[in-house]
Structure 1
Amino acid sequence: MARQIFQLRVSLVGVRPTVWRRVLVPGGYTLDRLHRVLQYALGWRDCHLHSFDVDGVVYGVPDPVGELAVLDELDVRLDAVVGKGSRWRYTYDFGDWWEHDLLVEDVFVADPDERYPICVDGERAGPPESAGGPSAYQVLLAAHADPGHPEHLVLRDWAGERFDPAAFDAGRVTTLLRRLC
């Protein structure tokens, strides 16, 4: 059987202007491996807990204490839980609560001459790690853009000189994905 590729659109919920990515991933990837793709695609550093919610079933890293009722993401393949047109949620950092809307835009046969995963499109940089969630990130964006904002210098220093909220490079993301996934 030919290997299936899932074209996913990933959008960060609650952030304006929208931060989004379009990635191509093998349907045989486990949700754990998809988690790594999402981390690199958005610029996260995998410093916090995460989960997937697919039709009310939650997948993630099982909690040995049993406080979080999640199914093990290592045991679940992408193509076993979603198909073309499926929409579900990925949440990263349970303190900041970064929700990502995932949509399977298409499913097709892999190009035998191509290496996957690939980031084919997107817009805007992902928020810096531990930015405080969507509402705090909106404050950071406003302060970053306005030299007259009372927190401009502090938040600009915190985000780092190289942080450019409008920047995005699909080729760079693909290079990271191929090295690290």
Structure 2
Amino acid sequence: MMIQCTKALLEKLGIKGDELVTPEGHEHFPNSFMAWHANFVSINRRKAIILMNNETRYPVVIYRPVKKDFSNARGLILEAITEVLRIEGVSQTIINAYIHKAGEISFSKTANRSMVAKLNNTVREIEFMSEYLNEDTKIQKYISLLAGRQIQKINDSDEYGYPVEKMLNCLGAVYELDNDKCIPVLDHERYQLKIQIDLGSHDVWRRVTVPSTFSFRHLHNIIQTVFDWQNYHLHEFTVDMEGNKPIKIIMDDHPETLEFLDHGEFDILQERFVSLEEIFSKHNKVIYEYDFGDSWYHHITLEKTERSHDFRATYLDGNGERPPEDVGGLFGYEEYLEVIVNENDPRNKEMMIWAESQKERKLNSEQINNRLTRVFHKYYYSPHFI
């Protein structure tokens, strides 16, 4: 595997000119797929190594490396690429085959201005997405999932596409070249979850399947999508820990979010950095609260675990219509239900008009699953059925 480094990174690695290999011979597939361009940059006043695959433009980020990491750069780079591909749901067999095919890491200078320009663009995109950089870990798992799904000019022939799609295609092609057979590139664990709103006698729930490597930020987007919530209130996840402090998985570290949290009572985690497998591998129930005023509690139950070759969230089925936004909690919801069925109630007409913009829309399974393809990005409520 060739790592083609900028001058700044070569200096940090302490690699001299006579230790570099020639970059020639890595211009075309499959050799181009075994090469990565890399830079050493500052993001949010923190140092980072940004890698970009030459063939696919797929990025991998190593954040806040320390001195000993540069002496073990080969091992850290391999670990980072391996872990990010695993988070993408890639089969361990495929990952191993790629690492074996790429071979031992060697270092080289950057190839040309075109590749450096693409690398610089990747760095700018990572800077723009810096909220997904986790201060507590070197290998940044979730920023790659987001950056890899930004449309890019893949090569110099005006071919545009998504880096993750080309990455998966190339992984499959390289495996087939060496093994003379085709196997699924994606092979990962996924969870079947039932998500039920606590509404007393009203039976309102949705069932979904979700890759285990998704984060709780992704799960938040999924819940908002399948219940057609409008996502303009605060939310959090809670995990009860028998014999230990409960875990609060929160939106972010904004002061308004943290103001009322008791760090002595709860262990606090941030949802965009916590994978489902970290929690559901040990616990089969999680509570999601949406809107701290109305307090809609969603009980999330792990029903089963299965293997899958499809890396996406899928809506399976559900029952019941969720309460309207801002209806006033369970008491307000019961009052709302009484008013809308009673045409003689003087509030009926006004309530019906108000509810049109607040209640759940009638989306079919195809529409919901189409919207679920966007869970990697921030959730935006759209008035259109797309």
| Range into which the TM-score falls when normalised by the shorter chain | 0.7 to 0.9
Tell me what 1:67 maps to: 259
Tell me what 1:50 maps to: 235
C-alpha displacement of 1:15: 4.9
Preserved contact between residue 122 and residue 168 of structure 1 (Cα < 8 Å): no
C-alpha displacement of 1:168: 6.0
Root-mean-square deviation (CA, aligned residues, Å) is: 2.3
What is the distance in 2 between the residues matched to 1:64 and 1:85?
27
TM-score of the superposed pair, with normalisation by structure 1 = 0.87
Tell me what 2:320 maps to: 124
Preserved contact between residue 234 and residue 290 of structure 2 (Cα < 8 Å): yes
C-alpha displacement of 1:162: 9.6
What is the distance in 2 between the residues matched to 1:147 and 1:163?
19
Which amino acid counterpart does residue 251 of structure 2 have in structure 1?
Answer: V
C-alpha displacement of 1:18: 1.4
- Which of residues 364, 367, 375 in structure 2 aligns to 1:169? 364
C-alpha displacement of 1:151: 2.2
What is the distance in 2 between the residues matched to 1:144 and 1:179?
34
Worse-matched range after superposition: 151-160 or 83-92: 83-92
- Which of residues 204, 207, 213 in structure 2 aligns to 1:19? 204
Alignment of 1:113-152 (within 5 A): 114=310, 116-152=312-348
Preserved contact between residue 85 and residue 105 of structure 1 (Cα < 8 Å): no
What is the distance in 1 between the residues matched to 2:365 and 2:326?
23
Q: Report the CA distance shift for 1:75/1:180 in structure 2 as closer, same or farther (over 3 A).
A: closer
Q: Report the CA distance shift for 1:15/1:146 in structure 2 as closer, same or farther (over 3 A).
A: farther
* Runs of 4+, deviation exceeding 6 Å: none
Percent same amino acid at aligned positions? 28
- Which of residues 138, 157, 167 in structure 1 aligns to 2:353? 157
Query: Which one has more relative contact order, counting CA pairs under 8 Å at least 6 apart?
Result: 1
Preserved contact between residue 189 and residue 305 of structure 2 (Cα < 8 Å): yes
Preserved contact between residue 229 and residue 360 of structure 2 (Cα < 8 Å): no
Tell me what 2:373 maps to: 178
C-alpha displacement of 1:51: 0.3
Which amino acid counterpart does residue 259 of structure 2 have in structure 1?
Answer: E
TM-score of the superposed pair, with normalisation by structure 2 = 0.43
Q: Report the CA distance shift for 1:173/1:84 in structure 2 as closer, same or farther (over 3 A).
A: farther
What is the distance in 1 between the residues matched to 2:323 and 2:358?
13
Worse-matched range after superposition: 57-66 or 72-81: 57-66
Worse-matched range after superposition: 60-69 or 19-28: 60-69
SS in 1 for 2:373: helix
Ranges in structure 1 where 5+ consecutive residues have no aligned partner: none
What is the distance in 2 between the residues matched to 1:140 and 1:171?
30
Task: Please identify which structure carries the higher strand content.
Answer: 1
Preserved contact between residue 194 and residue 205 of structure 2 (Cα < 8 Å): yes
Preserved contact between residue 19 and residue 123 of structure 1 (Cα < 8 Å): yes
Alignment of 1:60-99 (within 5 A): 60-65=250-255, 66-69=258-261, 70-83=268-281, 86-99=284-297
Worse-matched range after superposition: 138-147 or 45-54: 138-147
Worse-matched range after superposition: 141-150 or 95-104: 141-150
Which amino acid counterpart does residue 369 of structure 2 have in structure 1?
Answer: T
Worse-matched range after superposition: 145-154 or 92-101: 145-154
Worse-matched range after superposition: 58-67 or 15-24: 58-67
* TM-superposition CA deviations, 1:128-173 (whole Å, max 9, x none): 22222222112212222222234211211110189579x5633322
Worse-matched range after superposition: 149-158 or 83-92: 83-92
